[in-house]
């Protein structure tokens, strides 16, 4: 279950990790609702030009997505730099 | 009959101590159908970086996703190999140079399954589990770790 | 410069304790160029045999030849893989079901060398080192162990 | 160095392990000198017929040998059943 209690259905909950959180200077963003990941990326690159030089993936509700993907209302959107565990 | 497994926590705060590894090994002495254990341990290296030497790695994770993913990997590897046991532990927070940050432990009747499963788990964990290491440098800077 | 290595003892009397394994792991925390350890542990199984269940294995060896052979394998594996460390321990005498009888431990900067070297060592030790296991059965009989 | 103090140069020192020692009921034999491993095997099969059904290898001075091999004077000859360590 996404943790979305304080949000309206027209907003989108973005969480960021590692180097991405550092570059955008926050671990969480609440944005106006956007219909798909391409629109979201367009917004993020506009707002945080540094991200253009940074490799990252997007997960929707904890599943990695590739390419233009519909964002369900209430989805947890995560910005994930390359994993480096271990 | 095997009951349905659910995600279990893989994260430990700070280093994974040799004593806890010994305890984990000792816990298997009652499983008398086990003939071989394979263990992988990740240890933090004092790599040379621009401006200094690594003194520690600070690990963070997208914990809920990491546990789901670890569970998915776990189930897939259990389905692929005839294993008796499998354990995965990964550090969160700061782990100093020389300390253990990853502990993967597989056991089976015959050695081959344990060895192959352990190697596959390590590769998949490093590639697929959302964990990030930030290498802390002795000049007080830091560098995001990159996995090879 | 590396000094010339000479055969070292690989044999321990009875089981290899989890505590001694923990100690061996802990001893490597000062080697800060190590990034990965691979460990294999052989454990005595309670196999069903004609007339009963295995309760222990009694190991004997042609010790002088075994140490020479282990040294030869050790040198060959050190030459083949970029390893920081390698340790081999094998039990002699009686090791009970559930106890550890073989401990192979390799360490390297990156995981691949440690993992591959450990597997190769285990295979070569089982195949080439003159050690024999006699499985003791709970009916007081015994069966000579056969390696697969 | 082979441990040969009590032996004359015309004798041959045979040691046996595992299942072989059990079958011949001793871990050590001192035999008249024999020139090669085939002659030795002929003698052993004669003396201990059980050995015919048993797989074993021969090591001379701690090195495995295969086929008919000359036995050096003073050699340590070992009868080795299949290894089963680990």
A41-65 confidence digits (pLDDT tens): 999 999 999 999 999 999 999 999 9
pLDDT of residue B24: 98
Summarised one tens digit per residue, pLDDT across range B118-137 is 999 999 999 999 999 999 99
Partner residue opposite B144 with nearest CB, options A15, A18, A62: A18
pTM: 0.93
pLDDT of residue C120: 98
Q: Residues in chain B whose beta carbon is closer than 8 A to a beta carbon of chain C? A: 18-19, 21-23, 25-26, 28-46, 97-100, 107, 109-111, 115, 118-119, 122, 148
Q: Is the CB of residue C97 less than 8 Å from the CB of residue C19?
A: no
Find the CATH number of the domain harbouring D23: 3.10.20.30
Number of domains, chain D: 1
pLDDT of residue D15: 98
Alpha carbons within 13 A on the beta-carbon side of D75? 23
Among candidates C70, C74, C90, which has minimal Cα distance to C12? C90
Q: Is the CB of residue B61 less than 8 Å from the CB of residue B93?
A: no
Reported as a pLDDT band with limits 50, 70 and 90, residue B4 is low
Residue C1 has pLDDT above 80, yes or no: no
Residue C64 has pLDDT above 80, yes or no: yes
Residues of chain A with pLDDT under 50: 7
How would you classify the pairing of strands B100-108 and B36-43? antiparallel
Reported as a pLDDT band with limits 50, 70 and 90, residue B38 is very high
pLDDT of residue B7: 84
pLDDT of residue A4: 52
Among candidates B91, B87, B101, B100, which has minimal Cα distance to B37? B87
C116 min Cα distance to partner chain D (Å): 18
| Chains contacting chain B through 3 or more C-beta pairs under 8 A | A, C
Residue B146 has pLDDT above 80, yes or no: yes
Among candidates A82, A66, C34, A57, which has minimal Cα distance to B148? A82
Structural domain span for residue D53? 11-80
Distance (Å, whole) CA D39 – CA B148 = 59
Distance (Å, whole) CA A80 – CA A57 = 5
Q: Is A4 left (phi over 0), alpha (psi -120 to 50) or beta?
A: alpha
Tokens at residue C64, please?
Answer: 């002088």
Mean pLDDT across chain B, nearest whole number?
95
Instruction: Report CA-CA distances (Å) from B134 to A7, A14, C109.
Output: 31, 22, 18
Other beta carbons within 10 angstroms of residue D47's beta carbon come to 11
pLDDT of residue D2: 55
Give residues with Cβ within 8 angstroms of C12, minimum separation 6: C20, C89, C90, C91, C92
DSSP D70: B
Instruction: Tell me whether residue A2 is in a domain.
Output: no
Instruction: Tell me whether residue D1 is in a domain.
Output: no
Residue B2 has pLDDT above 60, yes or no: no
Distance (Å, whole) CA C3 – CA B37 = 33
Instruction: Tell me whether residue D3 is in a domain.
Output: no
Distance (Å, whole) CA B103 – CA B75 = 18
For chain B, domain boundaries: 11-144
pLDDT, mean of residues D46-61: 96
Residues in chain D with CB shorter than 8 Å from the CB of C130 are 17, 59, 78, 80, 83, 85
CB contact under 8 A, B132 and A19: yes
Residue D32 has pLDDT above 60, yes or no: yes
Interface test with C, best of D4, D55, D62, D84 (most C CBs within 10 A): D84
Instruction: Tell me whether residue D39 is in a domain.
Output: yes
Distance (Å, whole) CA B28 – CA B50 = 44
pLDDT of residue A20: 97
pLDDT of residue C4: 64
- Report, in this order, helix, strand and coil percent for chain C, each rounded to 5: 30, 40, 30
With 0-12 CB in 10 A as exposed, 13-18 as middle and 19+ as buried, what is A10? exposed
Residue D43 has pLDDT above 70, yes or no: yes
Residue C58 has pLDDT above 80, yes or no: yes
Partner residue opposite D86 with nearest CB, options C65, C68, C147: C147
Partner residue opposite A62 with nearest CB, options B42, B65, B133: B65
pLDDT, mean of residues B27-49: 97
pLDDT of residue B147: 87
Residues in chain B with CB shorter than 8 Å from the CB of C23 are 18
Instruction: Tell me whether residue D86 is in a domain.
Output: no
pLDDT of residue C6: 77
Instruction: Tell me whether residue D38 is in a domain.
Output: yes
DSSP D52: G
Mean pLDDT across chain C, nearest whole number?
95
Residue D45 has pLDDT above 70, yes or no: yes
Instruction: Tell me whether residue D37 is in a domain.
Output: yes
Reported as a pLDDT band with limits 50, 70 and 90, residue C82 is very high
pLDDT of residue B140: 82
Instruction: Tell me whether residue A1 is in a domain.
Output: no
CATH fold, domain B11-144, is: Aldehyde Oxidoreductase; domain 3 (3.90.1170)
3-state secondary structure A40-82: HHHHHHHHCHHHHHCCCEEEECCEEECCCCECCCCCEEEEECC
Give residues with Cβ within 8 angstroms of A57, minimum separation 6: A64, A66, A79, A80, A82
């Amino acid at each position: 279950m996404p943790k979305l209690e304080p949000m309206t259905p027209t907003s989108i909950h973005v969480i960021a990790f590692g180097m991405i959180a550092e570059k955008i200077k926050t671990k969480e963003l609440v944005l106006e609702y956007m219909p798909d990941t391409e629109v979201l990326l367009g917004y993020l690159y506009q707002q945080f030009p540094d991200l253009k030089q940074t490799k990252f993936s997007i997960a929707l509700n904890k599943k990695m997505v590739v390419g233009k993907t519909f964002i369900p209302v209430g989805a947890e959107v995560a910005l994930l730099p390359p994993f480096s565990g271990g | 009959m095997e009951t349905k497994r659910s995600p279990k926590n893989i994260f430990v705060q700070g280093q994974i101590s040799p004593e806890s590894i010994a305890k984990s090994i000792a816990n298997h002495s009652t499983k008398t159908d086990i003939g071989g254990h394979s263990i992988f341990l990740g240890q933090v290296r004092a790599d040379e970086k621009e401006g200094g030497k690594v003194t520690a790695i600070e690990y963070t994770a997208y914990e809920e996703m990491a546990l789901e993913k670890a569970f998915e990997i776990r189930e897939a590897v259990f389905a692929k190999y005839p294993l008796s046991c499998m354990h995965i532990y990964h550090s969160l927070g700061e782990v100093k140079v020389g300390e253990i940050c990853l502990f993967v432990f597989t056991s089976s009747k015959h050695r081959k399954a344990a060895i192959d499963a352990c190697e596959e788990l390590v590769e998949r964990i490093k590639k697929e589990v959302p964990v990030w290491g930030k290498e802390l440098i002795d000049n007080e800077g830091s560098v995001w770790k990159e996995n090879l």
